[in-house]
Structure 1
Amino acid sequence: MIGGTAYGVALNDREQVAALGDALGEKPYGRPPVAPILYIKPRNCFAANGSAVALPGDIAEVAVGATIAIERALAGPPVARLAIDLFVPHASFYRPAIAERCRDGFLPLGPATALPADLASIEIVTRVGGVERHRWNLSRLVRDPAALEREIATFMTLAPGDLLLCGIAGDAPAARAGDTIEVTAEGFAPLAVSLVAEQAR
Structure 2
Amino acid sequence: MKRARIAFEGRVQQAWEDNGRVRLSDGRRLEETEVVWLPPVMPGTILALGLNYADHAAEIASQAPEEPMVFLKGANTLVGHRAFTPRPDDATNMHYECELAIVIGKLARNVARADAYDYIAGYTVANDYAVRNYLEGIYRPNFRIKSRDNCTPIGPWLVDAADIADPMNLRLTTRVNGEITQEGSTREMIFDVPFLIEYFSAFMTLQPGDLILTGTPKGTVNVMPGDEVITEIEGLGALHNTIISRKP
Which band: TM-score by shorter chain? 0.7 to 0.9
Q: What RMSD over aligned residues (CA atoms) do the two structures have, in Å?
A: 2.5
Give 1:52 shift.
1.2
Q: Give yes or no for the alignment of 1:107 onto 2:152.
A: yes
Paired residues for 1:45-194 under 5 Å: 45-73=77-105, 78-89=121-132, 94=139, 96-110=141-155, 111-115=157-161, 116-194=164-242
Per-residue displacement from partner, 1:72-106 (whole Å, max 9, x unpaired)?
13699511001101111256762551111211111
Higher strand share: 2
Quote the Cα distance in structure 2 between the aligned partners of 1:50 and 1:20.
Answer: 28
Work out the number of aligned pairs and report it: 192
8 Å contact from structure 1 (residues 61, 176) kept in 2: no
Secondary structure, counterpart of 2:182 in structure 1: strand
Q: Structure 1 residues 170, 125: CA separation in 2 closer, same or farther (over 3 Å shift)? A: closer
- The 3 A distance-change label for structure 1 pair 48 and 17 is closer
| 3-state SS in 1 of match to 2:237 | coil
2:48 is the counterpart of 1:8: yes
CA–CA distance in structure 2, aligned partners of residues 77 and 96 of structure 1: 26
Distance 2:220 2:247 in 1: 27
- Cα distance in 2 between the residues matched to 1:36 and 1:11: 8
Q: What is the identity, as a one-letter code, of the residue corresponding to 2:73?
A: K
Q: Percent identity?
A: 24
Q: Highest relative contact order (Cα 8 Å, sep 6+), 1 or 2?
A: 1
Provide runs of 4+ in structure 1 moved above 6 Å. Answer: none
Pairwise CA distance, 1:17: 4.5
Q: Which residue in the other structure is 1:28 paired with?
A: none
Q: Is the 8 A contact 2:46 2:73 kept in 1?
A: yes
The answer (yes or no) to whether the contact 1:180–1:193 under 8 Å persists in 2 is yes
Unmatched tracts of structure 2, length 5 or more: 1-40, 108-118
Taking structure 1 as the reference length, the TM-score comes to 0.84
TM-score for the superposition, normalised by structure 2: 0.69
The answer on whether the counterparts of 1:68 and 1:166 sit within 8 Å (CA) in structure 2 is yes
Post-superposition shift, 1:56? 2.5
CA contact (8 A) 1:36 1:152 kept: no
How far apart, CA to CA, are the structure 1 residues paired with 2:239 and 2:139? Answer: 31
Could you tell me how far apart the structure 2 residues matched to 1:49 and 1:16 are? 25
Distance 1:199 1:126 in 2: 26
Partner SS, residue 192 of structure 1:
strand
Q: Secondary structure at the match of 1:174?
A: coil
Q: Deviations over 1:34-70 (max 9, x none)?
A: 4312111211110000101122212244111001101
Contact 2:183 2:219 in 1 (8 A): no
Query: What is the alpha-carbon distance in structure 1 between the residues aligned to residue 43 and residue 98 of structure 2?
Result: 21
